[in-house]
């Protein structure tokens, strides 16, 4: 079961959108085409995603990137446009990558790969598998299936909308609650009947007390699962 990184492709040219989406799908990505700024913003709200590819007009005049940044400040963005669009997008931030039209396939795929690599944090501590342990994600009952001092992997009900790019995970029995940044989501294959999905995340901007509580929880959880 392979995880497919999700890429929103927001461009008004239907032919260009189809071309870019076909390139992404051929490389194993899940492409989400949107042809208007409003539909792109709706996708940003409703669907977890790993990369935004947007027309320069959508970014500069349609508010797509501004809307996305208000929610997910470090999500990588690739902007498509002419030279003027590149100059307009330059001051918007270091996570902006610009591609001038016409887009070359090899350059496009290379840029997508670099953007996603730059956005993916390295694992800072070893993962420890544990027996499924009850937790909640944004208030929804879920299960922890492995942990590290800086991250977690979860089994959740199959509803992609609940795994926002940043979410709150709580462990009711021990009283640990931490903020987590989503790093990946994996859905079942179409031929599987399970009503589950899986998510990996990294602890994000938690106060020291929450970090300490999480580490104590890990120590307790690992001890319980080794007896």
> Which tens digit of pLDDT belongs to each residue from 76-112?
788 898 876 666 665 565 557 888 889 998 889 878 8
Write the CB contacts of 147 (distance below 8 Å, at least 6 apart in sequence): 127, 128, 130, 153, 218, 221, 222
Q: Looking at residue 122, what is its pLDDT?
A: 46
Answer CATH for 128-225 from 2.40.10.220, 3.30.1490.190, 1.10.3720.10, 3.60.15.10: 2.40.10.220
Q: Give, in order, the Cα–Cα distances in Å from 119 to each of 95, 115, 211, 213.
A: 9, 6, 22, 27
- Which residues make up the CATH 2.40.10.220 domain(s) of the chain? 128-225
d(CA 105, CA 140) in angstroms, rounded, equals 41
Question: pTM of this prediction?
Answer: 0.54
Asked if residues 34 and 43 have their Cβ atoms less than 8 Å apart, the reply is yes
Q: Is the pLDDT of residue 204 over 80?
A: yes
Taking CA atoms, 200 is separated from 8, 83, 120, 153, in Å, by 20, 38, 12, 4
Domain 6-119 superfamily per CATH: Response regulator (3.40.50.2300)
More confident residue, 5 or 63: 5
Q: How far apart are CA 73 and CA 103, in angstroms?
A: 26
Mean confidence (pLDDT) of the chain: 78
């Amino acid at each position: 079961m392979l995880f497919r990184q999700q890429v929103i492709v927001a461009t008004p040219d239907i032919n260009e959108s189809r071309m870019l989406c076909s390139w992404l799908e051929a490389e194993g990505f899940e492409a989400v085409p949107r042809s208007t700024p409003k539909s792109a913003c709706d996708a940003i709200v409703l669907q977890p995603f790993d990369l935004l590819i947007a027309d320069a007009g959508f970014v500069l005049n349609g508010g797509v990137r501004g809307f996305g940044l208000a929610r997910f400040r470090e999500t990588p963005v690739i902007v498509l446009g002419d030279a003027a669009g590149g100059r307009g997008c330059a001051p918007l931030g270091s996570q902006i990558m610009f591609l001038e039209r016409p887009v070359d396939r090899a350059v496009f795929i290379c840029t997508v790969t670099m953007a996603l690599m730059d956005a993916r944090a390295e694992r800072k501590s070893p993962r420890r598998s544990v027996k499924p342990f009850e937790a909640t994600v944004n208030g929804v009952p879920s299960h922890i299936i492995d942990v590290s001092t800086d991250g977690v992997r979860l089994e959740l009900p199959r509803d992609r909308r609940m795994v926002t790019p940043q979410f709150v995970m709580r462990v009711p029995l021990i009283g640990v609650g931490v903020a987590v940044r989503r790093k990946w989501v994996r859905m079942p294959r179409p031929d599987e009947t399970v009503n589950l999905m899986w998510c990996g995340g990294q602890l994000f901007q938690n106060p020291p007390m929450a970090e300490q509580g999480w580490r104590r929880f890990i120590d307790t959880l690992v001890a319980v699962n080794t007896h």
